[in-house]
Amino acid sequence: MKEFETISNHFKWCGMRTDKSFSIDFIIRKDKQDKTEGYLFARVTVNGQNTEISLKEKIKVWDWDSRSETVKGKNKYAKSINDWIDEVRYKIKESRKALETNRHPITASTIKEHYEGRHTSQKAPTSGHTIKELIRFHNKIEGEAQHNEEAAKLKPGTMKNYGATEKYLTNFMLHKYKKEDVDLLDFDYQAVLELEYYIRNFPIKQSDPCLGNGVYKHMERVMKLFGMARSMRWLTDNPFELYELKKKRTVKERLTIQQFVAIENGVFNDDKLNYVRDLFIYDCYVGVSYVDLLNLEEGHFVEMEDTLFCTIYRQKSIERAGIPVPPAAIAIMNKYANTPAAVAGGKIFPYISNQDFNRNLKIIAGILNIPINLCTRKARDFFAKELNLKNGVPMETVSKMLGHSKISTTKENYADVDEEKIIDDTAHVQERFNLKKKKILQAV
């Protein structure tokens, strides 16, 4: 919508006028090459003089409502563009307010310069440290810690994810500041909000957009980086202080007991498929990650009170996990432990790459008409939910078996209630209720 207001400047100085008309309009300019598309601009007008600021967004001409100055519709695309329009409007008004507060000339051009961070009289205090410097320091500390298991807080896979986050940060700085690195003080709360918008709408790979909890994880990593900067006193204020991470709760597709039975009893005309099936079923019984599964050795097993126990330190969390191994899983171990490939590697199971393992699981799912993406994550979920929690094993015990460092992690992943649990929990409700009614009637 068009913004129109009057600036009342109560200070008379330098012969400047004390009242100025000010308005913001959002317009679309058609692409010269493709007339069906147009670029969005904010037109800033002060005392009849105007200038335009590009929003760097292209939309279809018929999607633009010139009356409301918004993109038509209520879909995700329209909402993201309209939210950006609101942000730009707010930022332009803040630029005008900053010029007024600091007694600088207020014209359409000076407002644009301030908005773009080019105003000559803008003071630019620095922290003395840049975002890239912060990332390098973080990577150096964590990189050195990788050689010391006790000191390492992040695993190689997690460090790789920080690399993707760094790429998003670099691309964002080029987009916003037109350079690859900026002072930490230049990254304010508004930049935090713009970064989230950027990650959602400008993926590193166009074929693989970052949505939902993927955005959450990138923002969480940047928040941790700035938390580190604050702790080291590189910053006095953290731009993430008011930012709220919003993690979207997703409904997980889980392996059912019927699907588990189908896989366990599936027989295939291919030795590799049979091996992958056995590995997957074994993991459903013990619930370890892929990397921990392939690292299992004879020394990880000990017999206690006629029960074979698997005791390992999870590679991801360095937490100890103690898991009772049922007879069906022991039979699978005995099937492969003495094969030449397993003996040569010093492990319980012969090595198979994660890609090869997942590829063959997809083949198994296709053969058995199982409509979910099979992976060790599904096996681990089955172990926690179907095998243990639904059969009365307490959450605290399941947490220890999974090797979680915090029980809150276990609750977050497995405390949901499904229809089967509701049926189990309410199985005798009607019977007990009728018995109470009967006693009341007998007493009358």
Instruction: Say how far apart CA 440 and CA 444 lie, in whole Å.
Output: 7
Q: What is the mean pLDDT of the segment spanning 217-240? A: 92
Is the pLDDT at 69 greater than 90? The verdict is: yes
In this structure, is residue 425 part of a structural domain?
A: no
Domain boundary among 67, 90, 115: 115
Position 381 scores a pLDDT of: 92
**Co-location of 226 and 283 in the same domain:** no
Half-sphere exposure of 24 toward its Cβ, with a 13 Å CA cutoff? 23
Indicate yes or no: pTM above 0.85. Answer: no
Would you state the structure tokens that stand for residue 419, as one six-digit string? Answer: 């229809």
**Co-location of 287 and 403 in the same domain:** yes
* Higher local confidence (pLDDT), 387 or 151: 387
**Co-location of 218 and 279 in the same domain:** no
**Co-location of 187 and 136 in the same domain:** yes
| Local confidence band at 145 (pLDDT 50, 70, 90 cut-offs) | low
Position 144 scores a pLDDT of: 64
Q: What is the mean pLDDT of the segment spanning 58-67? A: 94
Position 126 scores a pLDDT of: 65
In sequence order, what are the residues at sequence separation of 6 or more whose Cβ sits closer than 8 angstroms to the Cβ of residue 44? 22, 23, 24, 50, 51, 52, 53, 92, 108, 111, 112
Is the pLDDT at 4 greater than 60? The verdict is: no
Is the pLDDT at 249 greater than 70? The verdict is: no
**Co-location of 264 and 400 in the same domain:** yes
Question: Are the CB atoms for 200 and 76 separated by under 8 Å?
Answer: no
Tell how far CA 442 is from the center of its chain. 60
Position 320 scores a pLDDT of: 80
CATH of the domain at 286: 1.10.443.10
pLDDT (tens digit per residue) in 165-199 = 999 999 999 999 999 999 998 999 999 999 999 99
**Co-location of 222 and 343 in the same domain:** no
- 291: exposed, middle or buried (Cβ count in 10 Å: 0-12, 13-18, 19+): middle
**Co-location of 83 and 175 in the same domain:** no
pLDDT (tens digit per residue) in 415-428 = 776 666 666 666 66
Position 23 scores a pLDDT of: 95
Helices (H) and strands (E) in the chain, counts: 17, 9
Domain boundary among 115, 144, 171: 115
Mean pLDDT is lowest, of 39-48, 116-125, 251-260, for 116-125
Question: Are the CB atoms for 190 and 134 separated by under 8 Å?
Answer: no
In this structure, is residue 219 part of a structural domain?
A: yes
**Co-location of 281 and 322 in the same domain:** yes
Is the pLDDT at 41 greater than 60? The verdict is: yes
Is the pLDDT at 3 greater than 80? The verdict is: no
Residue-number span of the structural domain to which 183 is assigned: 131-231
Position 242 scores a pLDDT of: 87
Position 294 scores a pLDDT of: 92
In this structure, is residue 278 part of a structural domain?
A: yes
- Supply the DSSP symbol for 180: S
Radius of gyration of the chain (CA): 30
Position 150 scores a pLDDT of: 47
Position 22 scores a pLDDT of: 93
Instruction: Say how far apart CA 162 and CA 358 lie, in whole Å.
Output: 24
**Co-location of 198 and 301 in the same domain:** no
- Supply the DSSP symbol for 428: T
In this structure, is residue 315 part of a structural domain?
A: yes
In this structure, is residue 430 part of a structural domain?
A: no
Position 125 scores a pLDDT of: 61
Position 8 scores a pLDDT of: 34
Mean pLDDT is lowest, of 121-130, 162-171, 326-335, for 121-130
Q: What percent of the chain has pLDDT over 90?
A: 53
Q: What does the DSSP assignment read for 283-329?
A: HHHH---HHHHHT--GGGEEEETTEEEEEEE-TTT--EEEEE--HHH
In this structure, is residue 123 part of a structural domain?
A: no
**Co-location of 143 and 69 in the same domain:** no
Position 119 scores a pLDDT of: 72
In this structure, is residue 17 part of a structural domain?
A: yes
**Co-location of 68 and 162 in the same domain:** no
In this structure, is residue 304 part of a structural domain?
A: yes
Q: What does the DSSP assignment read for 354-421?
A: HHHHHHHHHHHHHHTT--S---HHHHHHHIIIIIIGGGT--HHHHHHHHT-S-HHHHHHHH----HHH
Instruction: Tally the domains of the chain.
Output: 3
**Co-location of 109 and 144 in the same domain:** no
Instruction: Say how far apart CA 4 and CA 25 lie, in whole Å.
Output: 9
Is the pLDDT at 218 greater than 50? The verdict is: yes
Is the pLDDT at 39 greater than 90? The verdict is: yes
Position 419 scores a pLDDT of: 61
| Beta-strand pair 70-71/301-304 | unpaired
